[in-house]
Chain A
Amino acid sequence: MKFVDEFRAPELIAKAGEEIRKLADPDRHYRIMEVCGGHTHAIYRFGLKDLLPHNVELIHGPGCPVCVLPMGRIDDGLSLAAQPDFIFAAFGDMMRVPGTHGSPLEYKARGTDVRIVYSPADALKLARNHPEKHVMFFAIGFETTAPSTALTLMRAKAEGLNNFSVFCNHVTIIPAIRAILDSPDMRLDGFVGPGHVSTVIGCRPYDWIAKDEGKPVVVSGFEPLDILQSIVMLLRQLRNSEARVENQYKRVVPWEGNRAALRAMAEVFELRPYFEWRGLGFISQSALKIRQSYAPWDAEQRFTVPGVRVTDPKAAQCGEVLKGVLKPAQCKLFGHECTPEQPVGALMVSSEGSCAAYYNYEHRKPISIANAATH
């Protein structure tokens, strides 16, 4: 696969690993946060931690849109789906996320019309093909995905398609990073920046992290070489006591972002004054809602939504794991009451949530196999 396989070349990965070992000061312990859940998943899938020296630690950030979605929002969405002639459409990522009365897949087994879609455009197509039903697209995702939802809503409006709506749970990444940095118990040296979010918002939004907080940010791609190269670039900056924003993912990320995507988002969305993030609490100006001009296609304006608030069990330490303060295995419920099959908290619910990723890919790995590079 072009633009994929080259960035998985074993010899180059070995070189990058070697460079990381040379650059890492043995007297320092580096704590680097990868913000995006997609990076968390890639790190585990490619076994990249095995290639890092012990003193370079990767902390998993809050960029998992499924993980940070409060259970009450799922309950709200599914309660709308209980109406007759209603189709609940969502990405596969949502299908096993538990609401209070079950996950979308469990609702499907009980007779609700729940459909998995790969694209919001497919949800719109469902609406075109089923004029007798109402199709509601349960939208999740950061700025990577929001423009696609926005364009879909623009197309629905242009077509005058009345049997389509969106239940919008899009969130924005910068406030989440701010919440991490504002956390008193957080100590981080730098960030692996979210490469695909940055194809939309560009690299400028991270300037304050370098200038005001003094932490380097390297916007990174998702192949093994991308992530390793980004760590090399971060270590170089740290060695030289620099704090800049760099773009490692140049082949795809434009420094100024995608104007057309940002225009579509501005046309359709506005910022909610505040939004609850599971594990992080209420964060202001951190989520998108559909504008008045698109009210007929906003499920929350068109239908009555219960507005359920569900609090997480106190024993679940998702917030601390989300902020990188605790490691998944340090949460008391990890692996016992809380497993990917029976998730209690947010981070076990999505395959890119730090707890689920760690559980599935790593935690039973014998130490002799992990960190083989340093033995």
Chain B
Amino acid sequence: MATAVSNIKFREPQIEMSHGAGGKASRRLVEGLFAPLLFGSSTGPLGDAALVQINGTKIAITTDSFVVKPLRFPGGSIGELAINGTVNDLAVSGARAEAIVVTFVLEAGLPTEILEAEVRAMADAAELAGVRIAGGDTKVVEHGKADGMYVTTTGIGRLLSGVEISPQFVRPGDKVLLSGPVGDHGITILFARGDLDLEAELRSDTRSVFPLVQALVRDAGAGVRWMRDPTRGGVATSLNELARDCGLGIVLFEEEVPIRDSVRGACELLGLDPLHIANEGQFLAVVSSESAESALQALRQVPGGAEAKMIGEVREQPAGAVLVTTLYGGSRLVDMLVGDPLPRIC
């Protein structure tokens, strides 16, 4: 016990909102407090899911909590996010989701019809994703807590054959693929909150990315080095994590990053970087340069994969960081997100 305690690097006196935002502060909490106490000395880089061996079979297991406000928004609701989010965490770990268990923390006073709508949404999303909801738990807390409802989903899945992914396998020259346009979810939520009085024809992109992952793995096999779903903190945060974990540099080509006009317009208006905005229906993959072109075509053949692009490549420099370059030769570093993206006027 004494050895574990001395490994605690997390020194902050209290928990702040930023610790849950998915960026640097979250990483400090996980690496500095949870990892030394919970994960033991054999912690490698932290991925979206954990791999467990049971009698020779590799099982992936993951869990995620959903505390989104508002509960419903164009394109989805907390129910869909809860199912798709866990299915996707398993998918980008190279696993097919087999079963999910659900925990509800409900606020006393929540109208039943709202709960029913979410449960229906979860059932539909699970059916679409081909995953079984195996059980769950419910707790009710006092009025004023839980923002209506909090949902946690825990999922298990079996690893697809031929998948061996880790930041350690990433090499200079590897290509970075993105399944579709950035920012749809985060901007939809921002608008749905209503504080900014902005409107657009935008929907959350929440969906299961498993069919896309499956097509990629079938085509590229061992050429797939690493995958992640860029949720909170966006593409920039996920790729910075990879850069740190593999010690190499990632160079992105700004014009190649797919983005809808209205997401771009919202980001320009509010001074936000699209690379920091959350996505709920996309995934990033790093593949070997030989397999990249074919892998991209394979993705584009899948319904929902038509907008997949190659957005960058891995290089020696800038080591541990992500650089965005433009057609005209300018470049800038892009870091992990610190808290939630905030609109600015300056």
Direct contact of A and B (CB under 8 A): yes
A residues apposed to B, CB below 8 Å: 1, 4, 8, 10, 13-14, 17, 37-38, 41, 44-48, 50-51, 64-66, 91-93, 95-96, 105-106, 109, 115-119, 122, 125, 141, 145, 224, 340-341, 350-352, 360-362, 364-366, 368-370, 372-373
Asked if A141 and B328 sit within 8 Å, CB to CB, the answer is no
New contact pairs (18) apart from A96-B339, A145-B345, A369-B318, CB-CB < 8 Å = A1-B264, A4-B268, A10-B328, A47-B329, A50-B330, A66-B346, A93-B345, A93-B346, A106-B16, A109-B16, A118-B196, A119-B197, A125-B197, A364-B321, A365-B323, A369-B317, A369-B323, A372-B329
> How close is B248's CB to chain A, nearest CB, in angstroms?
13
Cα distance, A224 to B329, chains bound together (Å): 12
Residues of A within 8 A of B317 (CB): 366, 368-369
Asked if A224 and B345 sit within 8 Å, CB to CB, the answer is no
Q: Does B134 contact A (CB under 8 A)?
A: no
> How close is A222's CB to chain B, nearest CB, in angstroms?
11
Cα distance, A57 to B179, chains bound together (Å): 40
Q: List 11 A-B contacts (CB under 8 A).
A: A50-B331, A91-B343, A93-B344, A96-B339, A116-B195, A122-B197, A141-B345, A341-B24, A365-B332, A366-B317, A370-B331
Residues of A within 8 A of B346 (CB): 37-38, 41, 64-66, 91, 93, 141, 350-352
Residues of B within 8 A of A145 (CB): 345
Q: Does B25 contact A (CB under 8 A)?
A: yes
Given the contacts A50-B329, A109-B16, A141-B345, A366 and B195 also touching, CB distance less than 8 Å: no
Q: Does B89 contact A (CB under 8 A)?
A: no
Asked if A92 and B342 sit within 8 Å, CB to CB, the answer is yes
- Name which of B16, B198, B330 has the most chain A CB atoms within 10 A of its CB: B330
Asked if B195 and A51 sit within 8 Å, CB to CB, the answer is no
Asked if A46 and B330 sit within 8 Å, CB to CB, the answer is yes
Residues of A within 8 A of B339 (CB): 96, 105
Chain B: residues with Cβ within 8 Å of the partner, total of: 36
Residues of A within 8 A of B345 (CB): 91-93, 118, 141, 145
Cα distance, A37 to B318, chains bound together (Å): 27
Cα distance, A41 to B345, chains bound together (Å): 12
> How close is A219's CB to chain B, nearest CB, in angstroms?
18
Asked if B326 and A361 sit within 8 Å, CB to CB, the answer is no
Given the contacts A1-B265, A47-B326, A116 and B333 also touching, CB distance less than 8 Å: no
Residues of B within 8 A of A96 (CB): 339, 342
Asked if B330 and A351 sit within 8 Å, CB to CB, the answer is no
Residues of A within 8 A of B342 (CB): 92-93, 95-96, 116
3 nearest A-B residue pairs (beta carbon): A47-B330, A92-B342, A13-B328
B residues apposed to A, CB below 8 Å: 16-17, 24-25, 195-198, 261, 264-265, 268, 270-271, 317-318, 321, 323, 325-335, 338-339, 342-346
Asked if A365 and B318 sit within 8 Å, CB to CB, the answer is yes
The closest CB in chain A to the CB of B265 belongs to A1
Asked if B318 and A364 sit within 8 Å, CB to CB, the answer is yes
Residues of B within 8 A of A109 (CB): 16-17
> How close is A100's CB to chain B, nearest CB, in angstroms?
16
Residues of B within 8 A of A17 (CB): 328-329
Asked if B25 and A45 sit within 8 Å, CB to CB, the answer is no
Cα distance, A66 to B318, chains bound together (Å): 31
Asked if A51 and B330 sit within 8 Å, CB to CB, the answer is yes
Residues of B within 8 A of A362 (CB): 332-333
Cα distance, A138 to B322, chains bound together (Å): 35
Cα distance, A341 to B197, chains bound together (Å): 29
Given the contacts A96-B339, A341-B338, A364-B318, A105 and B328 also touching, CB distance less than 8 Å: no
> How close is A353's CB to chain B, nearest CB, in angstroms?
9
Cα distance, A351 to B338, chains bound together (Å): 12
Residues of B within 8 A of A368 (CB): 317
Residues of A within 8 A of B328 (CB): 8, 10, 13-14, 17, 51, 224
> How close is B23's CB to chain A, nearest CB, in angstroms?
9
Query: Which among B198, B264, B332 is the interface contact of A45 at CB below 8 angstroms?
Result: B332
Cα distance, A60 to B105, chains bound together (Å): 50
Residues of B within 8 A of A350 (CB): 346
Residues of B within 8 A of A340 (CB): 338
Residues of B within 8 A of A51 (CB): 328-330
Given the contacts A105-B17, A364-B321, A365-B318, A48 and B24 also touching, CB distance less than 8 Å: no
> How close is A26's CB to chain B, nearest CB, in angstroms?
21
